Structures are given as structure tokens and as C-alpha cells.
Amino acid sequence: MSSELKRGLEGVLVAESELSYIDGSVGKLVYRGYTIEDLAQEASYEEVLYLLWHGELPTREELAEFEARLAEERRVDDDILETIETLAAADEDPMAALRTAVSMLSAYEPESEAEPDDLDATLRKGRRITAKIPTILAAFDRFRQGNEPIEPDETLGYAGNFLYMLTGVEPDAVAEETFDMALTLHADHGLNASTFTAMVIGSTMADIYSAVTGGIGALSGPLHGGANEDVMRTLQEIEDSSKDPVEWARDAREEGRRIPGFGHRVYEVKDPRATILEEKLHDLSESNGDDTWLEYTTAIEGYLEEEGLTEKGIAPNVDFYSGSVYDHLGIPMDMFTPIFAMARAGGWIAHVLEYQDENRLIRPRARYTGPEDAEFVPIDER
Ligand code: ACO
């Protein structure tokens, strides 16, 4: 047994996977061999889900059937809506509310008696969870604004239906396409922290509800999914203080603060998802007649590049651009990370299914650095 310690499991291979591949040295990302650029431009999020879960791109008939299955599973039980209303009234954080609601969904799972190794049943359960996450999030946001939730519309696609349930208005084609693309970009990304969390839970043959709930918890942290909100907060702070974005970035560097939306454990160059979203931000800024966020992000990126950060591999990641894109779509800031969870649930489920197919309990070890041979002292003598 190797005694080499790899803090943060950096560079450690723990599984084989056919799902996604990242070449961090050149900024390449593929899902099952297809480049993220092709999938973002050409495929819908439903097609990407099908690809991840079933191993290949669907035909038109397969896609239509798959979309129908997902659409008919969108409704959540009234008890769950009541819980969501309670959480909204208690001013719960949206990621925490999502975590609670997804966990609660299992109580209403029609196949709860299926055996843990019945992976077809796990896939169907995963599909139900994926279908219901937008309904949960939209209901939560509406309740906290004093509105009633909006029933899902089965005639709309996954992305369009979420925007409709959130705002009550059918999105225009640009908004729907942009949001659908953002979901595709976030669907999978190797063994990132939340996916690995879901896999560890799955490796115990626990149910998929536990795995997705765990993934949501891991994603909520500021070093992972939470960074897109931090980026938006930063942009807003710059706007409110009328500070120059470069001045803000310089102060942050001098104070030794990390720049949210920069750096990545795997990418040594700019994240390809950031490049795609940057293009979208250009389009949205033009169509909305407001280039404030574009101006700030461009200035910060340019300054950090001049300062040599890009050379050191600290380049923009997907979160640097996703927040401003969502803001242009009218999505509230604290829903950014839950939306990331909505998209990534597809990847979590795919990885759990793939891993459970040839399952081995994940159980690493720690190097013990505590005391040895401690003499036990009875409680009254301590
Ligand atoms: N700003 C400034 N310096 C940074 C940044 C940053 N955003 N990220 C890393 N660095 C520096 C570190 O200070 C460190 O410098 P040092 O060697 O002089 O001490 C060096 O780069 C290496 O940093 P590590 O923390 O070892 O790199 P790690 O691989 O662990 O970090 C992480 C990756 C956590 C994403 C980090 O870059 C970070 O905190 N970024 C900001 C948060 C963020 O954007 N998270 C989203 C990640 S993408 C995603 O989850 C979708």
C-alpha cells in the first residue's frame, strides 16, 4: 500500500469513466467524446442528459420519448410544496431548501422498494429527481416573494419551463437558448468535489436521493458552486461603490484575497465553458443595451492577465461568466448555485450509475498523526 499522501486527492485516479474528459493544459472538455463547444451550440440539455445517462446521442424518436418522460415527472407532491413554503417563510438559503426538498422527494418515490442494484430503477429515480428540481426551485423563489407557485408546462422544454415557472412569463427564444446552453455547460465535469461526493455515497449502494442530496451539500461551498454568486456580489459591489474594477482587483490582490471565478484545480488555462459564456455575455449585453457586467469582467480579466496570473494558471473559470449571464436573464443572485445544482444533478446521476455498475466501496485512509499509547484517565480524575 502506498504511503504517499495526496492532500485534496489532487491528481489521484480513483475510477474509470466514459462520461467526461478534461484536458486542463489546453482547456478542452468533452462529454462522451463530443466537445463542449459542439454540444453547447448544437444539442439541447435533454439531449445531453440522454447522452450522459444512455451512452449515446438520441434519435429524434428517442429524444421525443425521453423529453415526454421527463416532462410528465415535473410535478411535486403538495406536502413537498408545503415544506418549501415553510422553508421560504423561514428565509432558508435556496441551496439548503433544495437539499431538504430533494431529500424529502424520496418519501414519494413510486419505486422505493426497488433493490439497490436495480440500476434501471435508479435511472428512473434519477430522472424523477432531475425533472422535479426546477419545480422545487421555482416554487421556493415564488413563495419567498409572496406568490403562488406556477404549475409546470409540459409543452415547454426543460430550460424554458424553468424560466416560465420562475417568472410566470414564457421566455423568449434567446433567453431559453442561453439558459439551455448554460445547463449543458454545467452538466458534467469529471470527478469534481460534488460528483465525487455523490459517488462516495453511491459506492455504499445508498439510494440516488442520498447521493444527489450529498452532491447539493458539496456544491454549496464557496470553493465550488458558490463562486458564481461571489462573482456577482463582487460586480454588484463595484457598481454600488463606483469603484474602478481594476482598482478593486488590485486591492483584492494586495490584501491577498482570492478572486472569485478565477483558478481551477484541473484547468491551467481559461476554462472553455467560460469562453462560451463570455460570448453569450457579449450577445446579451448588446441585446439588453447594458454592458456594465461585460465591461467589469473584461477589465478584471485583463488586469489579472497583465499581472501574470493567467500565466500561473489562475485564469477565469465557468463561474466568472455564468453569474452575469444569469443576471441578464433576470435570475436572482442566490439562485445561481441552485441552478448549477439543477444542471449538475444530471452528471451526479450519470456518475453514480456508471460507478455502481462495477461498484467498489470507496474507503480511503488517513495518515494518523495523533498521540499513541495515551493513558486513559477516568472522568472524575481529569
Ligand atoms: N485568486 C488569486 N489567487 C489564487 C486564486 C484566485 N482565485 N486561486 C488560486 N490562487 C493561488 C493561490 O493563492 C495559490 O497561490 P500560492 O501558491 O502562492 O499560495 C495558488 O494559486 C494555488 O492555489 P490552490 O488553492 O492550491 O489551488 P487549488 O487547486 O486548490 O484551488 C480553487 C482551486 C479552489 C478553485 C481556487 O482556484 C479558488 O479558490 N478559486 C476561487 C473560487 C472559485 O472560483 N471557485 C470555482 C471553481 S470552478 C467550479 O467549482 C465550478
* Ligand 1 atom closest to residue 186's alpha carbon, by position in its atom list: 51
What is d(CA 171, CA 93) in angstroms, rounded to the nearest whole number? Answer: 26
Among 382, 379, 345, which Cα is nearest to 49's?
345
Q: Is 300 close to ligand 1, i.e. is its CB under 6 Å away?
A: no
pLDDT surpassing 90 at residue 241? no
Ligand 1 pocket, residue 261 CB under 6 Å: yes
In the reported structure, the alpha carbon of residue 53 is separated from the centroid of ligand 1 by a whole-number distance in angstroms of 31
Q: Is the pLDDT of residue 3 over 90?
A: no
pTM for the whole thing? 0.94
Rounded Cα–Cα distance for residues 142 and 148 (Å): 6
Whether residue 2 is predicted with pLDDT greater than 80 in this model: the reply is no
Give, using CA atoms, the residue closest to atom 4 of ligand 1: 258
Q: Which residue among 264, 327, 328, 351 is the active-site one? A: 264
DSSP output for 322-340: HHHHHHHTT--GGGHHHHH
Ligand 1 proximity of 323 Cβ (cutoff 6 Å): no
Which of 188, 223, 232 to probe ligand 1 with, by most ligand atoms within 8 A of CB?
223
For residue 162, what are the CA distances in angstroms to 158, 311, 326, 364?
Answer: 6, 39, 13, 39
Give mean pLDDT, residues 339-357: 98
Q: Are 146 and 173 in contact (CB under 8 A)?
A: no
Catalytic entry in 188, 319, 327, 328: 319
Q: Ligand 1: which residue has its CA nearest to atom 36?
A: 263
Q: Is the CB of 260 under 6 A from ligand 1?
A: yes
Cβ atoms of 71 and 44 closer than 8 Å = no
**What tens digit of pLDDT does each residue of 39-96 get?**
999 999 999 999 999 999 999 999 999 999 999 999 999 999 999 999 999 999 999 9
Ligand 1 atom closest to Cα of residue 320: 44
Nearest Cα residue to 269 out of 37, 10, 25, 30: 25
Lowest mean pLDDT among 171-175, 239-243, 362-366: 239-243
Q: Is there an atom of ligand 1 within 6 Å of 253 CB? A: no
224 classed as catalytic: yes
The closest residue, in CA terms, to atom 26 on ligand 1 is: 265
Whether 77 is a known active-site residue: answer: no
- What average pLDDT does the segment 254-268 reach? 92
Active site residue 328: no
- d(CA 341, CA 220) in angstroms, rounded, equals 9
Q: Is 243 in the pocket of ligand 1 (CB under 6 A)?
A: no
Q: Distance from the CA of 263 to the center of ligand 1, in angstroms?
A: 5
What's the pLDDT tens digit per position in 18-46? 999 999 999 999 999 999 999 999 999 99
